[in-house]
Structure formats: C-alpha cells, structure tokens
Chain A
Amino acid sequence: MLLEHCVAFVTGAASGIGAAGTRAMAREGARVVVTDRDGAGAEAIRAAGGQAEALALDVTDTAALRAAIAATAERHGRLDVLHSHAGVQVDGKLEAVTVEQLDLSRRLNLRAHFVAAQAAVGPMRRQGGAASSPPPRTGACNTTAR
C-alpha cells in the first residue's frame, strides 16, 4: 500500500471529491482525519473508511482549524499529508458578484489553505527525514475555472 503509516488530514471530506479522496487514501493504508463543516457527513465517511477519525470543522474558523491540525499531529505523533480541500464555488460575473461573496471565496479558497498549511508545516518539519516514512506533503484542491 502506498500510504501505510501515513497520517492524513482532510478538510471538506464529507462529500464529492473530498470523500472519494479520503476513501482512496484510507484504502492505501493512511490513517485519515476526516473533517467537514457537516460533522455527521464526516462521521459517515469515517465509519466507512477503515482507520479514520471524524471531526466537525469550519475552515473559516482560524483557531479551530489550527487546533484541529495541531491536535492531529499531537495525537498521532506525526502528520504526513494535508489535503486542504474545502472550498466554495460562487457563480456570477463582475456586475453580479457582491463584495461579500468575493470575501467568502477568499476566506474559503485562499485564506483557509494558508492557515492550514501554516499549521501543518511545523509538525511536518519536525518529523522530516524520519526513516521508513515518506517526506510530508501539503496540498490544496483547486479548479481551473473559466
């Protein structure tokens, strides 16, 4: 298995691509911390996903996001993969989109990735180079859009 001994933290994991990614990483042996604003949805994915844990988490809550990542690294003694997936799709062209909608997009599609990566990089750096484990990695889920 490709992710044996890995601990992965996923946001937006209760549905769609987030859920499929979580299932795939669990199938490859990862211990996955499944987070979503929809706590019940996260729990459903956890229940079907092998050695996973579920947590209700709104990634726009900076303190909660930082605390969840720190607690994951602490509890498992490591953090190998951050998959910062939660995001929002706001439709509309220049004259239709409100400033509030732009701010929501910024908070979810940019700021939350920054907060999550910043929280993950410390624990990842401290474990870097550990024998018999892959180097840590972070990543955002993005979409090319027209």
Chain B
Amino acid sequence: MIAYATTRHAAVAMTRQMAADCGHENNALCPGFIDTPFNAGFERQMRGRVGLQRDIAEAIPMRRFGTVEEIAEALVYLASDRSAFMTGHALAIDGGECL
C-alpha cells in the first residue's frame, strides 16, 4: 500500500499546513476499514476476502468493519458548528486500528 499510505500521510501534513495558512476550520477525516468497494486493492494485497477479514480480526481492537453511517456521523460533526474550535486535526474513526 505504499502509494496509498504515502499520499494519505502527505494529505494529513497538507491539512495541517492549510489550517495554519488559512485560519479557518480545516480537518482530515480518517476512516479505518469500512466495507465498501474502495477496499478492493487492499483485499487483493491480502489475497482475497478471507485474508482481509483475518487481518481485520487480528489488527483492529473492535474486530469488525466500520459502517459508512459511522463515518458520516463524524463528517456531520466536522461540517457543523459542533467542531468550531478544531482545526488542523486528523480525526481517526477506525475501531482502534491506529492504537
């Protein structure tokens, strides 16, 4: 996942710099494994669906995929006044994957 990880981490760095440059709210939302077709690449790298599910069971403390609705809740938070004093942040919603 070198192309993916490299560009995503660069986007987090850019998010922080944009927040510093502009002074308005600018954040990155970082979903963990959500069960959508977007994972097709990683699924191939893990040699199929079974490999992907095994990886999730072993590597993620909550031992499951997240849902698109769980990510949408975080998006509404970032898009609304509820996060008015938060900027330059990378908000991980990932079942503990990054722990």
Show the binding face of A for B, using Cβ within 8 Å.
2-3, 6, 8, 15-17, 19-21, 23-25, 28, 30, 80-81, 83, 87-94, 97, 101-102, 104-106, 108-110, 113-114, 117, 121, 124-125, 128, 134-146
The 8 residue pairs across chains A and B that have the minimum distance between CB atoms: A91-B41, A20-B68, A16-B36, A137-B25, A109-B7, A24-B72, A2-B80, A105-B3
Taking a contact as CB atoms under 8 Å apart, the answer to whether B29 and A139 are in contact is yes
Query: Chain A interface mostly helix, strand, loop or mixed?
Result: mixed
A-B contacts besides A88-B4, A143-B32, 17 pairs, CB < 8 Å: A2-B76, A2-B82, A17-B31, A24-B72, A25-B79, A91-B45, A92-B3, A93-B1, A101-B3, A102-B2, A108-B7, A109-B7, A137-B78, A137-B79, A141-B28, A142-B8, A142-B31
Instruction: Name A15's contact: one of B24, B37, B79, B98 (CB within 8 Å).
Output: B37
Contact with A along B1-41 (1 / 0, CB 8 A): 11111111011101100100010111111111010111111
Chain B interface, number of residues (Cβ within 8 angstroms):
54
